C-alpha cells in the first residue's frame, strides 16, 4: 500500500479535551495565516467528530488574522446522508464555524450528499469529489492541503478508513465510497491515505482513554491496515494533539 516517507510524530499534550481543541484552533489559525502569507490561498481539510467540531467552535471565537476570502475548505470524510442531515460532518462544520465567517461559499467544497448532483451511492459521491479535487489541483490529482485535520476512533480509524477494509488498503484512488462502515451510518465517502499523505501538515486531535491503545500503536509504527491512523502523516509535519487519557499508553516524556 501507499505509505510515503514518514515525518516524525510530534506529540503535544494538553490538560484536558477542551485544551486540545483550544490549542489546535490556535495552531490552525496560525497555520492558515502562514500559508496565506506564503501562497495567498490556504487549503484545509476539516474533520468530523467531537474534538474536530469543538476545535472549529474555538476558531469561530478567535479567528486571528485569517483572510476568509482566501480559505479553501475540503472534507476528509462524510456521512452519505441527505442534504442538511444533522449527522453530516459538513452540516456540523457549518454550524460550528463556516456559517459564521465571511468565507466565499464557492470555496467550501463538500462531498455530494445522497440525492445531490445525481448521487445515489457513496461511490457516485466519491467519483464526483475526486473530479472536484482534480479540478482544484495543480497536477490533476488532489490539492496540496496546508493542513489536514483528523479525529480518530478507538480502533484507530481516521476519516472513514476503518481497519482491515478495502478503503484503508486503497493505494491509487484519492476518494472512495464506503458501504459498510462499522460505525454508523454505514454509507460514507472518504479521502484515502494517498490523499491524506499529500498534505503538508497532518494533525490528529484525539481525546479519551478509549483511544489510548490506538494512539500508542500508531505512533509506534503499526501497520495502517491494523491501525489506519498509523498511515496518517504529512509531507512536512505530523502532529498529535492529545489529552492525558489518550496519551496514557505512550512512553513517558
Ligand X SMILES: O=C1O[C@H](COP(=O)(O)O)[C@@H](O)[C@H](O)[C@H]1O
List interacting residues with ligand X (CB under 6 A): 47-52, 76-77, 89, 150-153, 159-160, 183
Task: State which residue, 67 or 85, has the beta carbon closest to ligand X.
Answer: 85
Task: State which residue, 23 or 36, has the beta carbon closest to ligand X.
Answer: 23
Q: How far apart are CA 132 and CA 169, in angstroms?
A: 22
Task: State which residue, 39 or 183, has the beta carbon closest to ligand X.
Answer: 183
Task: State which residue, 51 or 197, has the beta carbon closest to ligand X.
Answer: 51
Supply the minimum distance, in Å, between the C-beta of residue 37 and ligand X.
Answer: 29
Instruction: Report CA-CA distances (Å) from 100 to 61, 93, 103.
Output: 10, 10, 9
Supply the minimum distance, in Å, between the C-beta of residue 181 and ligand X.
Answer: 8
Q: How far apart are CA 146 and CA 41, in angstroms?
A: 10
Supply the minimum distance, in Å, between the C-beta of residue 150 and ligand X.
Answer: 6
Task: State which residue, 48 or 234, has the beta carbon closest to ligand X.
Answer: 48
Supply the minimum distance, in Å, between the C-beta of residue 65 and ligand X.
Answer: 27
Q: What is the DSSP letter of 38?
A: H
Supply the minimum distance, in Å, between the C-beta of residue 182 and ligand X.
Answer: 10
Task: State which residue, 11 or 33, has the beta carbon closest to ligand X.
Answer: 11
CB atoms within 10 A of CB 121: 14
CB atoms within 10 A of CB 5: 7
Alpha helix ranges (H) inside the chain: 17-39, 50-61, 89-96, 122-135, 166-169, 193-196, 212-219
Supply the minimum distance, in Å, between the C-beta of residue 48 and ligand X.
Answer: 3
Q: How many CA atoms lie within 13 A of 106 on its CB side?
A: 3
CB atoms within 10 A of CB 130: 20
Is the CB of residue 180 less than 8 Å from the CB of residue 195? no
**What is the three-class DSSP state of 63?**
coil
Amino acid at each position: 500500500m501507499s505509505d510515503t516517507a514518514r515525518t516524525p510524530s510530534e506529540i503535544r499534550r494538553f490538560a484536558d479535551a477542551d485544551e486540545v481543541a483550544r490549542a489546535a484552533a490556535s495552531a490552525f489559525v496560525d497555520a492558515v495565516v502562514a500559508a496565506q502569507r506564503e501562497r495567498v490561498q490556504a487549503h484545509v481539510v476539516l474533520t468530523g467528530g467531537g474534538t474536530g467540531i469543538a476545535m472549529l467552535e474555538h476558531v469561530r471565537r478567535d479567528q486571528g488574522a485569517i483572510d476568509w476570502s482566501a480559505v479553501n475548505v475540503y472534507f476528509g470524510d462524510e456521512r452519505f446522508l441527505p442534504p442538511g442531515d444533522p449527522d453530516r460532518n459538513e452540516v456540523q462544520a457549518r454550524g460550528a464555524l463556516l456559517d459564521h465567517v465571511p468565507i466565499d461559499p464557492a470555496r467550501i467544497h463538500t462531498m455530494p450528499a445522497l440525492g445531490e448532483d445525481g448521487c445515489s451511492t457513496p461511490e457516485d459521491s466519491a467519483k464526483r469529489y475526486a473530479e472536484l479535487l482534480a479540478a482544484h489541483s495543480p497536477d490533476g490529482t488532489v490539492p496540496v492541503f496546508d493542513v489536514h485535520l483528523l479525529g480518530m476512533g478507538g480502533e484507530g480509524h481516521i476519516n472513514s478508513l476503518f481497519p482491515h477494509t478495502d478503503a484503508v488498503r486503497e493505494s491509487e484512488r484519492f476518494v472512495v465510497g464506503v458501504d459498510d462502515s462499522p460505525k454508523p451510518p454505514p454509507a460514507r465517502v472518504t479521502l484515502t491515505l494517498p490523499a491524506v499523505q499529500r498534505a503538508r501538515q497532518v494533525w490528529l486531535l484525539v481525546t479519551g482513554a478509549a483511544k489510548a491503545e490506538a494512539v500508542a500503536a500508531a505512533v509506534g509504527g503499526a501497520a495502517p491496515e491494523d491501525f489506519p491512523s498509523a498511515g496518517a502523516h504529512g509531507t512536512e509535519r505530523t502532529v498529535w494533539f492529545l489529552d492525558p487519557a489518550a496519551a496514557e499508553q505512550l512512553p513517558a516524556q
